[in-house]
Amino acid sequence: MLISDWRRVLLGAWSVWLCILGAAADLIVQFGGLPFDAPWWAHTIVFVAIGLVRIIKQPRLRGFWRSEDGAMRPRVLGAAGLIGAIALAAPVVERWEGLSLSAYRDVIGVWTICVGDTDDVHAGQVATTVECDDRLRRSLRSHAAALSACIPDDVEAVTPIGLGVAAISWTYNVGPTAACRSTLVRKWKARDWIGACEELPRWNRAGGAVVRGLVNRRGAERAICIAGLRDAGVM
């Protein structure tokens, strides 16, 4: 049975395209009269094998789960901790923060630019997409590291990865100081995974008022968190 988005995965996988390029190069060498012995058939076999592995749903391996992009993901954060979950958290943050190349005031009046970045932003400031990518990468790493400092290493390592991804997105929005003082983190440290996930919807206010956008975002983060618990087999 193929994964639901198998065409996009197959056409977008670097491993597949590298095999195609390798096979093409070998064919040129083999049939172009060049004095090399190129096993073009070997690249073809590897290409077919990798392609099938990427697009066919397979049983879960111990410690991993298969996401819809065809890749195997760890069920828990492991030794890499929250830093290792940044790549998965980035698209979640980008979806809810949006992208603005010009500085603007957010719902509580704070100057913001790029993907919800408020660090050293002023009126009239503009940025390029490359600068925004760099800001997001640095800010995600900074927030993940600050949050990681609040979680004992032995707890962080066994945290379901969905909780880690949701927590990075949440912390990016509320800030590490508020995050580390929260009931969510207290429950997280107690390994109350479900309780930690259920705290997310409570963070739906800005400037003292409930914000519809935050209600929707917290709901999405909770869904990621709960899905991670199911993938890790803890609920």
Among residues 5, 69, 106, 119, the one annotated as catalytic is 106
Our answer to whether residue 192 is catalytic in this structure is no
3-state secondary structure of 204: coil
Distant-in-sequence, close-in-space partners of 232: CB < 8 Å, separation ≥ 6: 65, 75, 76, 160, 161, 162
Q: What is d(CA 44, CA 34) in angstroms, rounded to the nearest whole number?
A: 20
Among residues 97, 156, 199, 221, the one annotated as catalytic is 97
Q: How many helices (H) and strands (E) does the chain have?
A: 11, 6
Q: What is d(CA 192, CA 211) in angstroms, rounded to the nearest whole number?
A: 27
**Cα-based angle 137, 208, 199 (whole degrees, multiple of 5):** 60
Residue 220 burial by Cβ neighbours in a 10 Å radius (0-12, 13-18, 19+): middle
Distant-in-sequence, close-in-space partners of 24: CB < 8 Å, separation ≥ 6: none
Our answer to whether residue 120 is catalytic in this structure is no
Residues acting as catalytic residues: 97, 106
